[in-house]
Amino acid sequence: MHTAKDYLDRVKAKYQQAGRPAYTKIDLARRVREDSLDAG
C-alpha cells in the first residue's frame, strides 16, 4: 500500500535526479508551479 508520503518521496526523487531538488513540500509546490503542472 502506498501512502501520500511514498508518492511525494518518489516525486521528490525524480526532481532530485533532474537536478532540481525539492526537499520540502513547499519546494515541491514551487517546482510544480515552475513546470506549469499546477491544476489551479
Give me the pLDDT at residue 3, please. 93
Q: What is the pLDDT of residue 40?
A: 54
Residue 20 lies in a domain: yes
pLDDT digits (tens, 9 = 90+) for 1-40: 789 999 989 999 999 999 999 999 899 999 888 887 655 5
Residue 34 has a pLDDT of 87
Model pTM above 0.85: no
Q: Give 11-17 contacts, CB < 8 A, sequence gap 24+.
A: none
Cβ(21)–Cβ(27) below 8 Å: yes
Domain that holds residue 26: 4-34
* Cα(37)–Cα(39) distance, integer angstroms: 6
- Is 39 contained in some domain? no
Number of domains present in the structure of the chain: 1
Structural domain includes residue 40: no
How many beta carbons lie within 10 A of that of residue 22, not counting itself? Answer: 20
Q: Are 25 and 16 in contact (CB under 8 A)?
A: no
